[in-house]
Amino acid sequence: MSRLFGSVRSRATLGATLVVAVALVAAGTAVLLSLRANLTGEAGTRAERSAQAVASELAVRTPLDKLSGLDAEDAPVQIVDEDGTLVAASEDLERITGTGTAEVTPAPTGTAGGDARDDDGDDDRDARADDSGRSDDDDDDPLAPGEIDRGTTFANGSATVDGDTEDYRFAAVQVETPDRGRLTVHAGAPLAAEHSAVDTALTAMLIGFPLLLGVVAAVTWLVTGRALRPVEGIRREMAAITASEDLGRRVPEPATHDEVARLARTTNATLTALEVSVERQRRFVADASHELRSPIASLRTQLEVAAAHPELLDLDGAVEDTVRLQNLAADLLLLARLDAGERPADTRVDLAALAREGAAGRTGVTVEAESAEVSGSPGQLGRVLGNLLDNAARHARERVMVTVRREGAWAVLGVGDDGEGVAEADRERIFERFVRLDAARSRDDGGAGLGLAIARDVAVRHGGTLTAGAAPAGGALFELRLPLAGADRGTPRA
């Protein structure tokens, strides 16, 4: 079960179904309540019309046994006097509730006082008080003889007429009769239609809502599955790439412009970057192994010769190979730290002082520098300058020029020579690891091809750039751009 609802497709289907279910229940409840209210209102209107009709007959002195409203089979009627005594009721009325009195048999006429008058011919109601001791003349809104009260009260109840029991909506209307005093007419209208309509609507909802929820769940399941199908394809391809370790493969990109397509494109871009990184690492390991093999083999040969013939030991050559091996190991270690994302130290370094210190003791190197402080690692920045000076010294004819200047929020350190320069097509390739432009040059003279690669990596880690161009003297010019300490960084010029 947990696995089933652990998928996005299942959760989306369940969520959509629950939302629709809540909406349907709320809408269905509102519809049922509205339908019941409307139909109950219609029944109340019919009951009021029936009560008004009987009250109109009473207002014109129609005898109780001549009232037409008492003959309606679907509208039970009660007529009650001011004392709450039943004076008239519908024929065949056997039981009634909701009208204030449960009596169904009228009281005798004499007891009710329906036709009693005093000797002067006046209505005896003028001298009668009700049970609470309040006369009709004390009413807040007295009615004139023959007048019907415009106020109607409603109530729900039930009645049994000729053996049939039903629910009714009762309306109560008061009328001031000329001969019987104030009477209250209770008339009912059946609620069978209301109950039938509500039951029908409820039955339709109980049948239709589950079917509709089933349709919603099925459609959501299909649509979600269709939408997630590319994601499943991406997952399968990534699993295959992981199993095969073939970084040359790519996940399928759907021909859409949605989030899934962007995910596929981002995944392929990540795979491309990973493939480049892995390939670069493989080349690095292969090149490092090749570069290490030469000094190690040379050193081993010299040691074997020395072991067999001590008088033939080339001590200077062994020392050179050892130093070269040590420098190469240091370069490889620094590259490994840079690749691991090592953050440089946050120390203020004056590039002018660094340039003068690096140029000291080197033949043919001139320095023109103004003070420019940057934040970074003094050791790594000194390594950059040393690599640039070594590279310039190998290619210069006579002179190497070092300059330091400010350009806005950037410090620029330049190292130029008067050699042959670097062809424009090779100005980026020379920063790749183990690259030598002069294939005929010996390793002893040209180095391992890591100096410029290390210099650029250090520049990037310090938030700057290292570029190659043409020097004024005709040779190569390398410019290191770093943000000044405490200054807002802009975009360095390439």
Cβ neighbour number for residue 307 with a 10 Å cutoff = 9
Least confident of 4-8, 45-49, 277-281, 349-353: 4-8
Q: Is the pLDDT of residue 472 over 60?
A: yes
Q: What is the DSSP letter of 59?
A: H
Q: Kindly state the helix (H) or strand (E) to which residue 388 belongs, with its residue range.
A: helix 378-395
pLDDT for the residue 5: 55
Residues 6+ apart with CB under 8 A from 134: none
Angle 469-470-473 from CA coordinates, rounded to 5°: 150
CA contacts within 13 A on the Cβ side of 315: 2
Backbone angles phi, psi at 45, to 5 degrees: -65, -40
* CA distance linking residue 436 with residue 430, whole number of Å: 7
Element at 199 (helix H, strand E): helix 192-244
Check residue 401 and give its pLDDT. 94
Kindly indicate the confidence band of residue 488, based on its pLDDT and cuts at 50, 70 and 90.
low
* 207 neighbors 213 (Cβ within 8 angstroms): no
- Distance spanning both ends of the chain, measured CA to CA: 59
Burial of 69 (0-12, 13-18, 19+ CB in 10 A): buried
Structure tokens at 369: 């520098």
Domain 259-338: give its CATH code: 1.10.287.130
Residue for token pair 């005896």: 124
pLDDT for the residue numbered 350 = 94
What's the pLDDT tens digit per position in 327-368?
778 878 887 777 777 778 888 999 999 999 999 989 999 999
376 forms beta bridges with 347
Of all helices (H) and strands (E), which one includes residue 242? Answer: helix 192-244
Q: What was the pLDDT predicted at 129?
A: 34
Contact assessment for residue 219 and residue 180, using Cβ atoms and an 8 Å cutoff: no
> Which pLDDT tens digit goes with each residue over 70-97?
877 778 999 999 888 898 988 888 899 9
Is residue 69 very low, low, confident or very high in pLDDT (cuts 50, 70, 90)? confident
pLDDT, tens only, 440-465: 344 445 556 788 888 999 999 999 99
Structure tokens at 170: 């009762």
Decide if pLDDT at 437 tops 70: no
CA 85 to chain centre: 70
Report the pLDDT averaged over residues 307-328. 78
Cβ–Cβ under 8 Å, residues 15 and 5: no
131 has a pLDDT exceeding 60? no
- Cα separation, 273 vs 279, in Å, equals 10
Say which amino acid occupies 484: L
Rounded CA-CA distance 196/253 in Å is 58
The per-residue DSSP string of 296-324 comes to: HHHHHHHHHHHHH-GGG--HHHHHHHHHH
Say if pTM beats, i.e. exceeds, 0.85.
no
Residue-range domain boundaries for the chain: 1-115+136-246, 259-338, 343-483
DSSP 8-state assignment for residue 141: S
Under DSSP, the state recorded for 129 is: B
| pLDDT, tens digit, 9 for 90 and up, residues 247-266 | 888 888 888 888 888 989 99
* ∠ Cα 394 398 403 (to 5°): 85
Q: What is the pLDDT of residue 306?
A: 80
Give the mean pLDDT of 42-63.
90
pLDDT at 57 over 60: yes
Burial of 93 (0-12, 13-18, 19+ CB in 10 A): buried
Give the type of residue at 74: D
Q: How confident is the model at residue 122 (pLDDT cuts 50, 70, 90)?
A: very low
Identify the H or E element spanning 100.
Answer: none
Kindly calculate the radius of gyration of the chain based on its CA atoms and give it in whole angstroms.
53
Q: What are phi and psi of 306, to 5 degrees?
A: -65, -35
CATH class of the 343-483 domain in this structure: alpha beta
pLDDT confidence of 124, banded at 50, 70, 90? very low
pLDDT, the chain, mean: 82
User: What pLDDT is stored for residue 112 in this prediction?
Assistant: 42
